[in-house]
Amino acid sequence: MTTPPTDRRALLRLGLASTAAALAPASEGRAEPAPTPIDRPARRVGDAQTVHRKLAYSMDSTLTFSWLRGVRYAAVDNVLRPLWTMHLGTLFRTHDLANGYAVTAATTTFYTDLDTGKLLTTVKHPITGKTIDVHYFPPTPQTLIYGRSGPPLPDSGPLAALENHVETGPAWIDGETVSVLGDHLAYSHESGPSRVRVNDLSTFVGLAKDVADPHMPNPPSTMMFNDLNTWPPWLQMGDAPGAYFSRAWGRKEFSYDAMPGVWRALMRTEYPAIAANPASALEAGAT
């Protein structure tokens, strides 16, 4: 089975030359085997913006879902203290614009007890042991505008008042897979307890042939996420030294029922209107 020429050209446009060469049919009179994935060196991809859009979002407006599951830690005196399990679910649509594209998304986050799996409404302070209330943000839809030259900067929400640096790429192909970075760094210029520093680091991974396929606008992908932040005010850490750290993993899904069962069960109890009509999450006041 040979790859259509248009697919090979798409690979080359994205900088996936090694995959294009491997998928090309052998010349007549020669039967040279294509290199196996392990033999192909990792190569940097030219069009990181397109790779990021296809793996993190979509090239069409299909309602799409993604999830992350991980553990939140308090890093105090260079010791990681696990706080709770995180369950994040996002619903989004992507739309083309004249000079880029827009992503409208709503994210719901739940924290559960590490041992019992019970939804947390209060937690113990990592240092004092004092009981404090957990703060959750409602799944309010937000739209990000991505220009052709790169990713957006927030124009609303809690990060809008901070100095923001958003980067997409680089992207790399290694064997059959392609990966791309998507990082968001934000900080304030204050000193002391009011100082804010956010370091969100994401990696998206998919199949190179899927990203290059013009007939696959919304390919499957997996993702890894880490952040290293200053303490959120609701945790009442004051000027205690340390950091708010997490590690998480997840993937893109194409139906609500494919989302993790724990997250869907929590949605039924906490946001029943969205659980009954997931698309409503992208409408203001749907909760």
Q: Which two tokens stand for residue 133?
A: 């209330």
DSSP single-letter state for residue 14? T
What confidence score (pLDDT) does residue 14 get?
56
What confidence score (pLDDT) does residue 16 get?
53
Mean residue pLDDT across the chain = 82
The label of the residue with tokens 């505008």 reads 145
23 Cβ contact partners less than 8 Å away, ≥ 6 residues apart: 2, 3, 7, 8, 11, 34, 209
Q: Report the distance separating Cα 246 and Cα 70, nearest Å.
A: 7
What confidence score (pLDDT) does residue 99 get?
82
Q: Provide the 10 A C-beta neighbour count for residue 131.
A: 9
Residue spans of the domains in the chain: they are 42-282
Q: Report the distance separating Cα 93 and Cα 59, nearest Å.
A: 10
Of these ranges, 45-49, 165-169, 191-195, 271-275, the one predicted with the greatest mean pLDDT is 271-275
Predicted confidence (pLDDT) per residue in 225-273, tens digit: 999 999 888 888 888 888 999 999 999 999 999 999 999 999 999 999 9
Taking Cα atoms as reference points, which of 221, 220, 222, 223 lies closest to residue 201? 223
Predicted confidence (pLDDT) per residue in 4-41, tens digit: 433 445 555 555 544 444 333 333 444 444 444 444 45
What confidence score (pLDDT) does residue 25 get?
36
Residues 87, 159, 142, 205: is their CA dihedral positive or negative?
negative
The dihedral over CA atoms of 238, 158, 95, 257, expressed in degrees to the nearest 10, equals 50
